[in-house]
Amino acid sequence: METGEQVGVEAVPYCCSDFDGGETPARGLAIRTRKTRSLSTSSATACDYRRNQSLHGPSPVTTFGPKACMLQNPHAVMHIQDPASQRLTWNKPPKSVLVIKKIQDASLLQPFKELCVFLTEKNMIVYVESKVLADTAIAGDESFGAVIQKFCTFREDLDDISNRVDFIICLGGDGTLLYASSLFQESVPPVMAFHLGSLGFLTPFNFDTYQSQVTQIIEGNTAIILRSRLRVRVVKESREKKGIIMTNGDSEGSRKSMQYQVLNEVVVDRGPSSYLSNVDLFLDGHLITTVQGDGVIVSTPTGSTAYAVAAGASMIHPNVPAIMITPICPHSLSFRPIVVPAGVELKIMLSRDARNTAWVSFDGRKRQEICHGDSITITTSCFPVPSICFRDPVNDWFESLSQCLHWNVRKKQNYLSSEEEEF
């Protein structure tokens, strides 16, 4: 870790609170309730909006007819807070922020500098990736040099900042949020994403009023949406090549294992081969089908509006607990995309009679080859990405569908006059 100053920072725990002051603690720490302004009450954002109805469905009746009822299982009791009431608050005032900027994008230089100056003036400790400061347009700006000296820098895959950052600000498109997710393999700090990229489906904030918006995030009590991630474990068989056993990373006997946290999707495809991809798909240990085609996409609800929707899948709201399985150009007209419960465990392996290997990528990164004997295990992670909302989870999502994907946009049908109706 490199710093311009010697700074001791302890990450501030955050929690998810409901509207009546009740709170669900995070990281096992006590919580203090404090009255603060809501982001949704600012004139810079939108009018105050709070649902008076749960986003959960009603609890089902567990008696069926005069004599039947559901067998009670005291070990399977689980409570999930209603997504409509999930709001961010701070146990202690936040002191550190990670600013993620899209690399080599000249249009982001001025917003980045303005934001960093604003944060340092508020006595925030600003973390920035080392390669961001390698940009000559930043490093060579003498007027910005005093601010750079106050930065704490880090390097991806080398420095651990998981317990140093209180919240994250992303400047760019959806890729910056995906990158922020990849930096934290366990608990993720709250993420505030500004729309300064090409698409911006996951970035609800405009930069024009960043000062008031960031200030309200620091004060707390803002709506958040918990975007589920996939926990992926890739196990590879060790292979001999010219008498040398190839084992990179952690090994388990003759195998090596790698784990990833994925926000959008896991994509298994045929790679450069001209043959069909031929992989077996298991659900909770049972073979459910063999995928023959260009590949298969396993996605979160957040990822349903990414590669999956282009492959013909439905779009699912991020608050729906589910995993999507979408084939890519399947060699079967009946192979339609399916949605399975979030708690299942999926496993993907090359079929025994596959003619070629497969390739896998995680949110478009860490692409690697999958051979016979290798396996990819996928389930829902217990570490979601807490994404800060502009208004609330429902309105933000439909606004993104409309503005970014132009969902159901068409020229309206003309009104018929009474004379035309007679024909």
Contacts of 129 (CB under 8 A, 6+ apart): 100, 153, 154, 155, 156
Find the catalytic residue in 135, 166, 174, 363: 174
Q: Where are the alpha helices (DSSP H) in 256-392?
A: 307-310
Contacts of 292 (CB under 8 A, 6+ apart): 276, 277, 278, 330, 331, 332
Residue 320, judged by CB atoms within 10 A of its CB (0-12, 13-18, 19+), counts as: middle
Q: Tell me, rounded to whole angstroms, the distance of Cα 397 from its chain centroid.
A: 14
Is residue 183 a contact partner of residue 164, using CB atoms and an 8 Å limit? no
Q: Tell me, rounded to whole angstroms, the distance of Cα 160 from its chain centroid.
A: 19
The letter for the amino acid at 304 is S
Residue 315 DSSP code: P
Is residue 266 a contact partner of residue 277, using CB atoms and an 8 Å limit? no
Residue of 347, 336, 346, 352 lying closest to 278 (CA atoms):
352
The helix/strand count (H/E) of the chain reads as: 9, 28
Say how many Å lie between the first and final Cα of the chain, rounded.
Answer: 78
Give the Cα separation of 418 and 226 in Å (integer). 51
**Is position 174 annotated as part of the catalytic site?**
yes
Backbone dihedral angles phi then psi of residue 72, each to the nearest 5 degrees: -80, 140
Give strand pairing partners of 286. Answer: 283
Planar angle of CA 299, 301, 307, nearest 5 degrees: 50
Contacts of 311 (CB under 8 A, 6+ apart): 297, 326, 327, 328, 329, 337
Measured CA distances, 14 to 90, 127, 224, 386 (Å):
5, 18, 12, 10
For 367, the 3-state DSSP assignment is strand
Active site residues: 174
